[in-house]
């Protein structure tokens, strides 16, 4: 098995992404919800029928695409009309067996705008649209990476237990796959760790500032969205995976 696919390596990446996600949520939660940021056509003629978050997310991906961000198999763009990299392509090892079409970002963005940002920010409008959108982009990119990392988790499990996964994939047995790849103990550990980390990070800040972000909110985001969507990615990855 390629070292990118060992469970230790995958767990370290996922654990480290928790910091990135928690930091990003803390930064965004400094500003009010500012619903107008997500409303198409709400912020002036220059944006046309786009929302501000659409404008900034697209502009950011245009830049990052040129830095070859989306040539990495653990990155997925929110947009498809992106320019080619200006940097030489890196030789990443092809550890996933995929046609590269799996992309949950439309769902992730919908979930973020409707269920995540609404929970982490105070209701209202403080006029800080730019700062809100800049931090939204960081949150969206971190959540997207975390959720799509399910592809690596799934490939790792497939290689370790091919005999169990292959028949379920061949039969298109979605429920069987969900049941086989669900590890309740691991999920409980992730939630517990996220609760503790948020309590520590946000707690340090709250001592001096008002922050609306509590461990319960981050736990709820993980339980309701991050973990289920990651599991959906695993299932979709496996259903598309060729079984030799």
Q: Which residues bind its own copies (CB under 8 A)?
A: 12, 15-16, 19-20, 23, 26-27, 30, 43-44, 46-47, 52, 55-56, 59-60, 63-64, 66-69, 86-88, 90, 127, 129-131, 133-134, 197, 200-201, 204-205, 208-209
- When the beta carbons of 22 and 111 are compared against its own copies, the nearer one is 22
| HEC per residue, 196-241 | HHHHHHHHHHHCCCCCCCCHHHHHHHHHHHHHHHHHHHHHHHHHHC
Contact of 177 with 161, CB cutoff 8 Å = no
Q: How far is the CB of 174 from its own copies (least distance, A)?
A: 33
Q: How far apart are CA 49 and CA 39, in angstroms?
A: 9
Q: How far is the CB of 175 from its own copies (least distance, A)?
A: 33
Q: How far is the CB of 218 from its own copies (least distance, A)?
A: 14
Q: How far apart are CA 201 and CA 196, in angstroms?
A: 9
Q: How far apart are CA 149 and CA 75, in angstroms?
A: 9
- When the beta carbons of 64 and 223 are compared against its own copies, the nearer one is 64
- When the beta carbons of 45 and 244 are compared against its own copies, the nearer one is 45
State the CB neighbour count (10 A cutoff) for residue 119: 19
- When the beta carbons of 22 and 169 are compared against its own copies, the nearer one is 22
- When the beta carbons of 193 and 240 are compared against its own copies, the nearer one is 193
Q: How far is the CB of 23 from its own copies (least distance, A)?
A: 4
Q: How far is the CB of 167 from its own copies (least distance, A)?
A: 36
Q: What is the DSSP letter of 85?
A: P
Q: Name residue, tokens 């982009």.
A: 137
């Amino acid at each position: 098995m390629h070292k990118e696919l060992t469970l230790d390596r995958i767990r370290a990446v996922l654990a480290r992404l928790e910091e990135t996600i928690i930091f990003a949520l803390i930064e965004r939660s400094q500003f009010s919800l500012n619903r107008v940021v997500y409303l198409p056509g709400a912020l002036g003629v220059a944006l046309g029928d786009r929302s501000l978050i659409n404008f900034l997310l697209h502009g950011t991906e245009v830049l990052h695409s040129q830095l070859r961000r989306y040539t990495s198999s653990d990155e997925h763009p929110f947009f498809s009309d992106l320019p080619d990299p200006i940097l030489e392509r890196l030789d990443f090892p092809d550890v996933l067996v995929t046609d590269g079409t799996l992309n949950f970002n439309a769902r992730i963005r919908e979930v973020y705008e409707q269920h995540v940002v609404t929970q982490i920010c105070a209701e209202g409008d403080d006029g800080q649209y730019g700062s809100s959108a800049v931090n939204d982009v960081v949150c969206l990119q971190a959540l997207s990476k975390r959720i799509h990392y399910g592809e690596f988790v799934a490939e790792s499990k497939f290689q370790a237990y091919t005999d169990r996964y292959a028949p379920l994939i061949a039969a298109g047995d979605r429920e069987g796959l969900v049941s086989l790849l669900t590890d309740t103990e691991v999920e409980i550990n992730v939630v517990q760790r996220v609760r503790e980390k948020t309590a520590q990070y946000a707690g340090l800040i709250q001592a001096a500032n008002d922050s609306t972000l509590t461990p319960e909110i981050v736990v709820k985001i993980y339980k309701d969205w991050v973990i289920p969507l990651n599991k959906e990615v695993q299932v979709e990855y496996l259903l598309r995976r060729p079984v030799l």
